[in-house]
Amino acid sequence: MTQRKVRVRFAPSPTGALHIGGVRTALYNYLFAKQHGGDLILRIEDTDSQRFVPGAEAYIIEALTWLGIHFDEGVGFGGNYGPYRQSERRDIYKKYVDQLLASGHAYIAFDTPAELEEKRKAIQNFQYDASTRMQMRNSLTLSEDETKALIESGHQYVVRVKIEPNEDIHVNDLIRGEVVINSSILDDKVLYKSADQLPTYHLANIVDDHLMEVSHVIRGEEWLPSAPLHVLLYRYFGWEETMPQFAHLSLLLKPEGNGKLSKRDGDRLGFPVFPLEWHDPKTGDVSSGYRESGYLPEAVVNFLALLGWNPGNDQEVMSMDELIKAFDLRHCSKSGAKFDYEKGKWFNHQYIQKKDNKEIAALFMPILKAHGVDAEPAYVEKVVGMMKDRVSFIKDLWDVASFFFVAPTEYDEKTRKKRWKEDSAAQLTEFIEVLREHEPFDIESTENAAKAWIESKGYHLGNIMNAARLALVGEGKGPHIFDITEALGKEESIRRIQRAIEVLK
């Protein structure tokens, strides 16, 4: 077989906000496509009108765009294989449904929901399959004329796949190896519904992967049970030659205990499970998002990439380009990956350090504005450079650095008790003179001048620095004193010390 062009797709159903596990699936598809110089398609699988949620599609596109996961084709991106929304492909599917009916791999069933319910009650573990289908109301038990008459008189029907029992179906999975499943456990899944004239997920998914020339299907583990049916459908259509290769990704697991990571875990433990904030149009509920919680997209990408995959060494901080180069489906884990939120914070911290101070400052500006501070960008940049190693989130810069923008009006009582000595007022009055006379006001020379003065007077360096810190910051925290004075400037530093002397003496 000649090497096919790599074409992969991310195929979400617009049933709500995209879960962080879905984001990881999109990311792995993206990494795989880019590594192989292939195409990534965004296909919207919206054939289940019952579960359609308005706004979900736009949310998915916005979230992935924010993260830097770009599509080559699809809804919102154009391309030659469209339309990419399944609800707009109705006419295409009908032909393939008819093909399966003609070849005897599918049949028409008229059983009403009430009839099915009755069977379920009568037969334990009822499944619509080879063992039961001949007891049901379908084109296998009715005559051709009866079937025709029912359709013509407007009876709703579904088309079901006819699974032959007792056959081993082999699914070759790039992550899991060969998975063998016996066809007897499969049911005759519904492929098409006359009521909305739309195929179900299984048929639409296979037909589209075929028509869109998809080479690899990389998706979540929850779709592994569907894979045997998909393999059969490829065979029934005569498309085995171009059947995509499968790769089913392991689940994202709860941070503690077992089971799949859910929205409830996020609510309970206080972290987002969605990329962007989500306003549920039905319930009005608002769920937090990584973006609104202060995460940098690069950090989210890096964090997710390593949940269930590793580069084969202990490298952790990796840019998108590095991830593209290193990604390998064979290094994806078969077992679930525990969601480690602390690690996510750690990545955000790393990316804040890596990012240009200018960029961080731009993100910090709106937060300053919200606190009523109107600061010069160059000054904000300087403060960010000094303080960013203390935070994991940009919004936390306010907590550690607000004193650079707003002079203290109160002085922390505990610090005052401990750090403000009897002679502090007198010493700081002298310190003001040292500062006033000293020029230039840079960190090093100001520090040298202050130390020379302290030494000549036989004062205690630590005491003076502690009192000065209380005056400048309002409490006992903050960076090196002369970093602070240099940033604040001579005037402001003196003003703050003067005020502290008045208030605290």
The tokens 């919207």 sit on which residue?
44
State the nearest-atom distance from the C-beta of 7 to ligand GLU, in Å: 13
Residue among 46 and 188 whose Cβ is closer to ligand GLU: 46
48 lies in the binding site for ligand GLU (CB under 6 A):
no
Which x/- pattern, by CB under 6 A, does the window 8-37 give for ligand GLU?
Answer: ---xxx------------------------
- Determine which one of 119, 193, 260, 263 is catalytic: 263
Q: Are strands 252-253 and 337-338 parallel, antiparallel or unpaired?
A: parallel
Residue among 12 and 294 whose Cβ is closer to ligand GLU: 12
Interactions with ligand GLU, residue window 343-402 (CB under 6 A): none
Interactions with ligand GLU, residue window 151-210 (CB under 6 A): 201, 205
Residue among 8 and 428 whose Cβ is closer to ligand GLU: 8
Residue among 201 and 237 whose Cβ is closer to ligand GLU: 201
State the nearest-atom distance from the C-beta of 62 to ligand GLU, in Å: 18
137 lies in the binding site for ligand GLU (CB under 6 A):
no
338 neighbors 255 (Cβ within 8 angstroms): yes
Helix, strand, coil percentages (3-state) for the chain, rounded to 5, are: 50, 10, 35
45 lies in the binding site for ligand GLU (CB under 6 A):
yes
The tokens 């906000």 sit on which residue?
17
Q: What phi and psi, each to the nearest 5 degrees, are found at residue 161? A: -75, 145
The tokens of 373 are what? Answer: 């501070």
User: For residue 213, which amino acid is it?
Assistant: E
219 lies in the binding site for ligand GLU (CB under 6 A):
yes
The tokens of 151 are what? Answer: 């359709």
Interactions with ligand GLU, residue window 97-116 (CB under 6 A): none
Strands (E), 22-112: 39-42, 73-74, 106-109
Half-sphere exposure of 364 (CA within 13 A, CB side): 34
215 lies in the binding site for ligand GLU (CB under 6 A):
no
Is residue 263 part of the annotated active site? The answer reads: yes
> How deeply is 462 buried, as exposed, middle or buried, from its count of CB atoms within 10 A (0-12, 13-18, 19+)?
exposed
State the nearest-atom distance from the C-beta of 223 to ligand GLU, in Å: 5
State the nearest-atom distance from the C-beta of 212 to ligand GLU, in Å: 12
* Separation between Cα atoms, residue 84 and residue 75, nearest integer Å: 5
Catalytic residue IDs: 263
List residues near ligand GLU by CB under 6 A: 11-13, 45, 201, 205, 217, 219, 223
